[in-house]
Structure 1
Amino acid sequence: MVIGPQLEATGRLVGYARVSTKAQKLDLQLDALRRAGCEQIFHDHGVSGAKTKRPGLDRALAYLRTGDVLVIYKLDRLGRSVEHLAALLREFHARGIHLCALSEGIDTQTIGGKLVFHVFSAVAEFQRDLIRENTLAGLEAARERGKRLGRPKRLSAQKVREARRAVHRDGVSYAAAARRFGVSPATVWRAVAG
């Protein structure tokens, strides 16, 4: 793919490249970033996009300042999901940093690039809302089927009665009762108080 002429920016052009496995090469991305005029290039070699810790990306983000443009070869080199890309774009927007994806022709310094930013944000919000809606529907369906939601109780009803008797009648401390039933003192306290 032929990448257009050098990019223009009010700040620095900072490149970022990533490949997922050690066997892959960064050459294609690095060449494209150099042709675009990047003065500094950060990279992650053999780091999956699904990883939350990417040392090269972390260094690039720390290096960027207002007016700079982060240049990447393709969008999938930057974000592991639409949600992650949208979060990065929001961070860039808040910090006054632009993003340029060479292969897709996205440049947030342009009107079209700004539109892409808003589309990504809207898609990520839509995705979050769908997940929330599906989760709530699943919980409601489970309740209707009589499922008890939440963590299982650590003490059976019989053990709760025994703990109450031990604490209230026999004067056993919460800590001693907890040791007897193999739970924390807080669990005994909640059971006895409830």
Structure 2
Amino acid sequence: MRKPRHLSQEERALWDRVAERAVPLHPKSDKPTPDIRPAPKPKRQVAPRAPLTAFEVGQKANAARPHDVMRPLVDRLAAAPVNMDNKSFGKMKRGKLKPEARIDLHGMTLAEAHPELIAFILGSQAMGRRLVLVITGKGKSRDDGGPIPTRHGVLRHQVPQWMALPPLSGAILQITPAHLKHGGHGAYYVYLRKSR
């Protein structure tokens, strides 16, 4: 154990001078210290609840309402901002611009279509193409009536999502449904960025 160190005479004199000038934080007074504890909160009264009326799960559900909670794909693409020249965009939507290349994913599975789409888009950009056509088909109605609904036109819905993700998102400037003469809602115009 360490021995306590005693102050020298100079240190003691210095300490006394400092202590004389110090102002106490709480000066001593004759008044008793007030009780600073908070007053107890009164207990909250809970009103009794009315009993629940009888109900069945799903009784207010609208069976005619579609299961898809997202806006239709055509509406989402139409609401997307225009990232290219407005004049060229108008011509493209009216079918006045001719696609420089096309890929037909029609009839492929998702596993087959995805790598084909990536290779086509990135290859087209590398070749300097600006407008290409991606054909997905409108899709068949294959709802088997099960508890989980089957999406109509799986490729048609999946392809724009793939194009919004890397590596394709960096190559694409604009996506819009094709004009009727190029396939209508079963195809997409894809306007590519200039390759660097």
- TM-score under structure 1 normalisation? 0.26
**Larger proportion of helix:** 1
Larger Rg: 2
Higher relative contact order (CA 8 A, sep 6+): 2
